[in-house]
């Protein structure tokens, strides 16, 4: 009887699921002509292609037609998919177009985008965005839009052109860059959108609810049908991409300068095993072109979370996501696989000897397998890292999966994690997650279990998220990231937003946050409660005011710089004021001021981020953070972090960037210069200069590196 009741409940939930039906469709025309990607839709095939122009506002006037006409056309050949956007504008001189960098902040410009769900399952998709200058940005989307990988790079072409009636964009996407189930006649999911910066207007072909805001544009739930693709090339292929690196390095070891010559070569390979599965192989992997981490001041006793920047690990990273708070903004409290554990030990790079990765989809199963080996170093022995991840589609928009990780050294040490997770979406506005994972190692003090439940619901005005996380006292994850263990954490976040459209104010919102933290002896070790409100103007400027009261039990003393925080129980209050300006302007800024208690003292913190786009080629970004910390047993203690990034783009294929930072708490200053020339799609030349100084007694040279790196893509 119980089983019947459960089945009836599940059937009722599934039956009442509300999903966006693909009521619109587009059928690309087949072309045998050569389409030149130049921003001019002048080829005859464009004239006979189907035109769609019924775009609807997501904001500011939800459900109303777009205020400016947008036309989209699609063509395809045996090898490529072509998309043309004609964006008419009643004031073409006011179109915002000041970003040329690849994967730059194109959402701050007038832009258009296309979402392609090549499996048609509303779970994963690829997302392409362009502006009027033809600048490109691409994103791989997994987990129904919950995980975004903006560092995924596809080899595709785009060109933009401004004219007297607006602007035009023309793009070409090779089919061998996409993954899909090949059939005689396929049906893909598709959506198109346009953002008009000066009006803060967002429109789509298939409207995304305003309550979903900008993240909703990445959700493949909102899609029409792309039909009629026949006789296209198989996406199976074999790419070989060798690199050649050379340069000089000099570093100060104790009191002696040591100079070394850098020379190396390696190889990356990509093989389309089937139309659904891709195998990536790498030998002697190098990431010399990766920008340095952003400097941070850690005022807590817990580790900082830094995002992954290395291309090999970023591609397909959404599939390997497993843990608590995955997909939320900010660092997750628990991530079972954190790829920065591979090749980085104690903030030092460890050579990657090589490895491979298999990702893709077979029927209802999404699969991912990764294996990497790092060389022995002073910090660690020769170590192998492996991950196996699988998810199965269930119901109409849910999944059930598992993960296995293993870190094993050549001296016999190992550490393993294994767990299962469930993503259940019974309704477009309702998402639930559940996860449990265990840890194993030869040390019995590293064997335990963690589990997590989350319930997320929203409508046009309300958004509520409640979660529970339990991490055992001995649970460990040496291939993952964990904020702390031996906790039982209950969290509740709720916010309310209403559109007022009066007195130059567009939106007003209020929020509540709360958490309660116990250890496994049921002792209270922390809690917090917070309230706040925000206001957004019609021009997209905003203010936010938050008040928070929290309790923290410090079991052992810890240090912040030269200051020690003693053990004890602390009840603290904090107020935060945030102000920001609309980001599409040539000059935009974000400022936050925090004031309140800091354990047994007090703290004032000021953070300022600004960006000045001097021209469409040149941009300057500045970041400054300062803390004034006053503790009874010491003089006023201050921390400073300063960073600046100067970017110049000669065109959409030639970029330079200078990034300089100073962190007085770490007594470190650094500068990084990068030149990147994409001399053909998929092939790059890099020139890199790194300089680091010790800042304890003025700026003292510590190390520098000059490198050049050459890659060339062979497609077979």
Specify whether 221 is located in the same domain as 99.
yes
Q: What phi and psi, each to the nearest 5 degrees, are found at residue 292?
A: -65, 155
Q: Is the pLDDT of residue 44 over 60?
A: yes
609: nearest Cα among 359, 294, 289: 294
At 328 the pLDDT is 65
Q: Is the pLDDT of residue 256 over 80?
A: no
Q: Is the pLDDT of residue 10 over 60?
A: no
Residue 386 maps to a domain: yes
341 in helix, strand or coil? helix
At 236 the pLDDT is 64
Q: Is the pLDDT of residue 5 over 60?
A: no
Residues 648-688: tens digit of each pLDDT: 999 989 999 999 999 988 888 999 999 999 998 889 999 99
Residue 715 maps to a domain: no
Q: Which pair of tokens denotes residue 677?
A: 């020339």
Residue 711 maps to a domain: no
Half-sphere exposure of 292 (CA within 13 A, CB side): 26
At 254 the pLDDT is 58
Indicate the residue among 448, 483, 518 that finishes a domain.
Answer: 483
Specify whether 312 is located in the same domain as 218.
no
Q: Scanning the structure block, which residue is given the tokens 């550490």? A: 415
Minimum mean pLDDT among 252-256, 448-452, 682-686: which range? 252-256
Specify whether 336 is located in the same domain as 447.
yes
Question: In Å, what is the CA distance from 685 to each residue of 405, 492, 660?
Answer: 35, 49, 22
Specify whether 206 is located in the same domain as 106.
yes
Q: Scanning the structure block, which residue is given the tokens 């396929």? A: 186
Range of the domain at 439: 303-483
Residues 563-597: tens digit of each pLDDT: 888 999 999 999 999 999 998 899 999 999 999 99
CA distance 47 to 669: 57
Q: Are 239 and 681 in contact (CB under 8 A)?
A: no
Question: In Å, what is the CA distance from 411 to each residue of 13, 204, 376, 385, 407?
Answer: 52, 57, 11, 14, 12
Specify whether 38 is located in the same domain as 129.
yes
44-81 burial: b if 16+ Cβ within 10 Å, else e: ebbeebeebeebbbbbbebeeebebbbebbbbbbeebb
For 523-558, the DSSP string reads: -EEEEEEEEEEEEEETTS-EEEEEEEEEEEEESS-E
Minimum mean pLDDT among 309-323, 383-397, 433-447, 556-570: which range? 309-323
Specify whether 224 is located in the same domain as 312.
no
Specify whether 202 is located in the same domain as 102.
yes
Specify whether 318 is located in the same domain as 461.
yes
Tally of structural domains, the chain:
2
At 360 the pLDDT is 85
Query: Cα angle at 104 between 315 and 171, to 5 degrees?
Result: 75
Q: Is the pLDDT of residue 268 over 50?
A: yes
Residues 460-484: tens digit of each pLDDT: 889 999 999 999 999 999 999 998 9
Residue 161 maps to a domain: yes
387: nearest Cα among 275, 475, 282, 477: 477
At 257 the pLDDT is 65
At 300 the pLDDT is 82
The DSSP H or E segment spanning 311 is helix 311-314
CA distance 315 to 273: 16
Assign residue 92 the CATH number of its domain.
2.60.40.1190
Sign of CA dihedral 213, 216, 217, 223: negative
Residues 72-89: tens digit of each pLDDT: 999 999 999 999 999 999
Residue 579 maps to a domain: no
Is residue 626 exposed (0-12), middle (13-18) or buried (19+ Cβ within 10 Å)? middle
Beginning with the edge strand found earlier in the chain, give each strand of the sheet holding 157-163 in spatial order: 29-30, 70-76, 80-88, 166-174, 157-163
20 band by pLDDT with thresholds 50, 70 and 90? very low
Question: In Å, what is the CA distance from 466 to each residue of 343, 441, 470, 479, 492?
Answer: 36, 32, 14, 27, 4
> What mean pLDDT is predicted for residues 691-713?
85
Residues 373-389: tens digit of each pLDDT: 999 887 789 999 999 99
Q: Which pair of tokens denotes residue 19?
A: 């999903």
Q: What is the CA radius of gyration of the chain?
A: 26
Indicate the residue among 465, 483, 501 that finishes a domain.
Answer: 483
CA distance 627 to 592: 12
Q: Are 204 and 193 in contact (CB under 8 A)?
A: yes
CA distance 142 to 537: 33
Residue 364 maps to a domain: yes
Indicate the residue among 427, 449, 483 that finishes a domain.
Answer: 483
Specify whether 316 is located in the same domain as 180.
no
Give pTM, 2 decimals.
Answer: 0.84
Range from 7-11, 297-301, 448-452, 554-558 that averages highest in pLDDT: 448-452
Share above pLDDT 70 across residues of the chain, in percent, rounded to a whole number:
95
Residues 342-376: tens digit of each pLDDT: 988 877 788 899 999 998 888 889 999 999 999 98
At 428 the pLDDT is 76
Residue 599 maps to a domain: no
β partners of residue 400? 392, 422
Measured between alpha carbons, how far apart are the two ends of the chain, in Å? 60
Q: Are 702 and 693 in contact (CB under 8 A)?
A: yes
Specify whether 223 is located in the same domain as 332.
no
At 308 the pLDDT is 80
At 699 the pLDDT is 73
689 band by pLDDT with thresholds 50, 70 and 90? very high
Question: In Å, what is the CA distance from 166 to each residue of 51, 66, 92, 110?
Answer: 17, 15, 5, 11
Q: Is the pLDDT of residue 309 over 80?
A: no
The DSSP H or E segment spanning 48 is helix 44-48
Q: Which pair of tokens denotes residue 91?
A: 């004031």
Q: Scanning the structure block, which residue is given the tokens 């309140």? A: 596
Q: Is the pLDDT of residue 143 over 90?
A: no
Sign of CA dihedral 625, 628, 629, 633: positive
Residue 622 maps to a domain: no
Question: In Å, what is the CA distance from 400 to each residue of 191, 251, 333, 391, 680?
Answer: 27, 50, 21, 5, 41
Specify whether 310 is located in the same domain as 177.
no
Share above pLDDT 90 across residues of the chain, in percent, rounded to a whole number:
61
Q: Are 39 and 170 in contact (CB under 8 A)?
A: yes
Q: Is the pLDDT of residue 423 over 80?
A: yes
Minimum mean pLDDT among 150-154, 444-448, 643-647: which range? 150-154
β partners of residue 195? 111, 202
Specify whether 192 is located in the same domain as 76.
yes
CA distance 342 to 375: 11
CA distance 42 to 19: 38
621 or 633, which is more confident: 621
> What mean pLDDT is predicted for residues 275-292?
82
Spell out the residues 6+ positions from residue 490 whose beta carbon is closer than 8 angstroms to its own.
466, 467, 468, 515, 516, 517
């Amino acid at each position: 009887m119980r089983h019947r009741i459960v089945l009836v409940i599940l059937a009722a939930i599934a039956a009442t699921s509300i999903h966006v039906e693909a009521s619109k469709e587009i059928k690309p025309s087949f072309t045998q002509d050569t389409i030149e990607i130049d921003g001019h839709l002048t080829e005859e095939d464009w004239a006979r292609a189907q035109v769609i122009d019924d775009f609807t506002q997501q904001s500011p006037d939800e459900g109303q037609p777009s205020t400016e006409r947008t036309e989209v056309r699609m063509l395809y050949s045996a090898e490529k998919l072509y998309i043309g956007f004609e964006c008419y504008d009643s004031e073409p001189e006011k179109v915002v177009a000041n970003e040329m960098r690849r994967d730059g902040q194109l959402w701050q410009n007038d832009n258009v985008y296309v979402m392609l769900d090549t499996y048609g399952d509303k779970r994963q998709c690829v997302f392409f965005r362009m502006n009027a200058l033809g600048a490109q940005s691409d994103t791989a989307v997994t987990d129904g839009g919950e995980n975004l990988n903006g560092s995924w790079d596809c080899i595709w072409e785009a060109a933009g052109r401004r004219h007297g009636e607006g602007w035009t964009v023309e793009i070409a996407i090779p089919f061998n860059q996409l993954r899909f189930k090949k059939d005689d006649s396929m049906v893909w999911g598709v959506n198109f959108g346009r953002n008009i910066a000066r009006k803060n207007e967002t429109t789509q072909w298939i409207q995304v609810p305003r309550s979903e805001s900008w993240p909703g544009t990445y959700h493949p739930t909102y899609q029409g049908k792309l039909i009629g693709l026949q006789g296209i090339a198989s996406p199976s292929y074999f790419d070989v991409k060798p690199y050649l690196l050379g340069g000089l390095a000099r570093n100060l070891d104790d009191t002696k300068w040591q100079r070394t010559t850098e020379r190396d070569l390696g190889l990356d390979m990509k093989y389309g095993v089937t139309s659904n599965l891709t195998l990536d192989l790498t030998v002697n992997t190098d990431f010399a072109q990766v920008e340095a981490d952003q400097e941070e001041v850690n005022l807590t006793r817990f580790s900082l979370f830094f995002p992954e920047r290395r291309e090999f690990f970023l591609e397909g990273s959404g599939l390997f996501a497993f843990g608590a708070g995955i997909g939320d903004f900010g660092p997750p409290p628990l991530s079972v696989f954190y790829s920065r554990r591979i090749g980085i030990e104690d903030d030092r790079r460890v050579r990657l000897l090589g490895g491979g990765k298999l990702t893709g989809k077979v029927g209802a199963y999404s699969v991912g397998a990764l294996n990497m080996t790092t060389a022995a170093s002073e910090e660690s022995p020769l170590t192998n890292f492996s991950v196996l991840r699988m998810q199965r589609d269930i119901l109409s928009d849910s999944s059930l999966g598992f993960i296995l990780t293993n870190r094993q050294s050549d001296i016999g040490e190992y550490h393993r994690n294994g767990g299962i997770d469930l993503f259940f979406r019974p309704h477009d506005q309702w998402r639930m997650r559940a996860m449990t994972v265990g840890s194993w190692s030869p040390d019995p003090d590293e064997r335990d279990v963690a589990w997590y439940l989350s319930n997320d619901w929203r409508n046009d005005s309300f958004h509520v998220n409640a979660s529970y996380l339990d991490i055992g006292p001995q649970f460990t994850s040496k291939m993952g990231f964990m904020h702390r263990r031996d906790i039982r954490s209950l969290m509740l976040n709720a916010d309310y937003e209403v559109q007022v459209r009066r007195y130059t104010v567009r939106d007003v919102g209020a929020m509540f946050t709360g958490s309660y933290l116990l250890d496994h002896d049921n002792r209270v070790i922390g809690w917090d409660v917070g309230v706040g409100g925000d206001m957004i103007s019609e021009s997209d400027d905003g203010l936010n005011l938050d008040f928070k009261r929290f309790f923290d039990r410090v079991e052992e003393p810890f240090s912040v710089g030269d200051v020690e925080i003693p053990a004890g129980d602390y009840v603290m209050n904090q107020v935060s004021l945030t102000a920001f300006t609309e980001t599409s302007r040539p000059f935009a800024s974000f400022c936050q001021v925090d004031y309140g208690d800091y354990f047994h003292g007090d703290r004032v913190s000021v953070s300022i981020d600004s960006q000045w786009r001097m021209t469409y080629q040149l941009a300057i970004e500045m970041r400054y953070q300062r803390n004034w910390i006053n503790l009874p047993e010491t003089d006023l203690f201050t921390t400073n972090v300063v960073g600046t990034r100067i970017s110049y783009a000669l065109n959409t294929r030639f970029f330079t960037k200078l990034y300089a930072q100073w962190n007085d708490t770490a007594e470190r200053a650094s500068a990084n210069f990068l030149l990147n020339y994409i001399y053909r799609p998929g092939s790059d030349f890099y020139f890199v200069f790194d300089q680091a100084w010790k800042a304890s007694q003025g700026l003292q040279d510590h190390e520098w590196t000059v490198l050049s790196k050459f890659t060339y893509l062979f497609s077979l």
